[in-house]
Amino acid sequence: LLLECGVYTLLNLMLAQAALSLSLLLLFRPALNGGAALPPHGRREACSPRAWAPPAFILAAFAAACLWAGPSEYVFGGWDSGKYVNMGASFAEKGRIVYRDGFFASIPPGERGLFTEGGRRYMGFNLTSIEDAVVSPKFMHLYPLWLAVATALAGLRAALSVNIIFTLVSIALCWRTALALRGRGAAFAAAGFMAANGLETWFARSQCAEPLAQLFFLGAALFWILWQQGRGRGYAPLSAACLGMMFLTKFDAILVLPCAAAALLFSDKLEGEGAFLLVLFASLLHFSAHMAFWNRPYASAIVANLPAPLRGGGAILLLSAALPLSLAAVPLARRAGIRACGPARLPFAARCAAAAAALAAAMCLSAGGGNL
């Protein structure tokens, strides 16, 4: 929000974050600390450091692998790593997403093409108006904001290494999620296999948004599980908030939304469902406004790469409307007496059809995002 309003500075971010954290603590701490729904052993298991942290040697081995290999130095060029780093540096310097470049405006209009060919000067950005020299970023803005914070605190080297921290937290979240579902054996296996995966080391060394999106996804899954297990209604809005942060990190993350709607329909109605829906609706509203106003060139580029039937001027509005409607269908279905059975009870053909539809949607959106 600070970036969108053009008032971002590191000090303003710290003040806003402190105020927001204090407000959330006062609102949700009683629910997180226990209550009637919390089992007798729940507080000790949920809050114990041993429940949250995988064995230290797993984290140490992964961190050593990343640090030994060193962070990617790919700052220049047209790949995503260079674009994200340039976006983070711009946010740290200008404090806003869309800005007017004074240097570019000083160039005679007939010669401006020399500076824009191949995106050499504006790597990771779109010149929305060559005449007015207005610039906006190509990607979602939340991960570059972290790069801006790291750059302001400790320079470019810290920004190049921030994904190592995100991946370490993701491994810990993977451990805690598996622990909540299947116990310590499954938690050890899940965290160990995740840390040993070469893709994790690759992305932890690069400057791409995937590690941060992975962190928010695992956070949403963990808080959802703790909420469904009756550990406290305060975990419901935290799960929705993680989903909302996913949307602002990677556009492709909207694929998770129909899954969340289906999970709500399959699950029992629990205390906190209203807070979950409220936070998620607010996140979708912010996401839609961001794509429509601050990141419209990026949204238009995604729409242009979608299959032909999904293109057109109203595609963004149609997509923005379809996302909250999929969630609104859940309470409407319950009010009408419609109750979904568990996935395991569905006929095999229905499960295959649902999997095929999900795969088709994933391929369409991946093609639109350029990730196919």
Least confident span in 78-82, 84-88, 114-118, 291-295 = 114-118
Percent helix, strand and coil across the chain, each rounded to 5? 75, 5, 25
Sign of the C-alpha dihedral, residues 91, 252, 18, 153?
A: negative
Which pLDDT tens digit goes with each residue over 209-220?
999 999 999 999
Phi, psi of 9 (to 5 degrees): -140, 165
- The rounded percent of the chain whose pLDDT value lies above 90 is 20
Task: List beta partners, residue 99.
Answer: 135
In this predicted structure, the answer to whether residue 47 has a pLDDT above a threshold of 70 is no
**CA–CA dist 337, 205 (Å, integer):** 50
pLDDT at position 174, please? 92
Mean pLDDT of 193-217: 90
What pLDDT, on a 0 to 100 scale, did the predictor assign at position 146?
A: 94
Least confident window among 138-147, 165-174, 264-273 = 264-273
Query: Measured over all CA atoms, what is the biggest interatomic distance in the chain, rounded to whole angstroms?
Result: 74
Backbone torsions φ then ψ of 129, nearest 5 degrees: -150, 110
Mapping DSSP to helix (H, G, I), strand (E, B) and coil, where does residue 127 land? strand
Task: Say if residue 283's pLDDT is above 60.
Answer: yes
The top-scoring range by mean pLDDT among 8-12, 51-55, 81-85 is: 8-12
Are 340 and 262 contacting, i.e. CB atoms less than 8 angstroms apart? yes
> DSSP secondary structure string, 238-273?
HHHHHHHHHHHH-GGGGGHHHHHHHHHHHSPP-TTH
Residue range 334-358: mean pLDDT, rounded: 67
